[in-house]
Amino acid sequence: MEMHDIPFEITDWEKIEPTEHKGERGLALWRTQQFANIRVRMVEYTPGYLADHWCSKGHILLCLEGELHTELQDGQTFILKPGMSYQVADNSEPHRSQTDVGAKLFIVD
């Protein structure tokens, strides 16, 4: 990945209006910044959230709060707690998110 045409900028995430994205269960709140071809998000999942789709988009994801369960389409499951991250390439391993207790994430894709 190369980053181009992105001037130095500070983001106050609390000032960015969240957008709601319904899951199969629960809700995801996204605060999003777009920098050229790179999307940067602060995402909060409500307790009981389950994604409504398998995602094939590549991400770098850092768990800030709560606990995130990530399931790969092949059945593997991984648990992220605060301070843990995962990285996955575009079109590599379809995955989906779930949380019982809620989670706050920082995601770059």
Say if residues 66 and 106 touch (Cβ distance below 8 Å). no
- What the chain holds in terms of domains, given with CATH numbers, is 18-108 (2.60.120.10)
Helix and strand element counts for the chain (H, E): 0, 9
Residue 59 confidence (pLDDT): 94
Residue 11 confidence (pLDDT): 96
Q: Give the phi and the psi of residue 7 in degrees, each rounded to 5.
A: -75, 160
Tens digit of pLDDT for each residue in 39-63?
Answer: 999 999 999 999 999 999 999 999 9
> How far is residue 13's CA from residue 28's CA, in Å, rounded to a whole number?
15
Tens digit of pLDDT for each residue in 7-26?
Answer: 899 999 999 999 999 999 99
Residue 3 confidence (pLDDT): 81
Query: Whose structure tokens read 């648990």?
Result: 79
Strand partners for 31: 42
Tens digit of pLDDT for each residue in 57-80?
Answer: 999 999 999 999 999 999 999 999
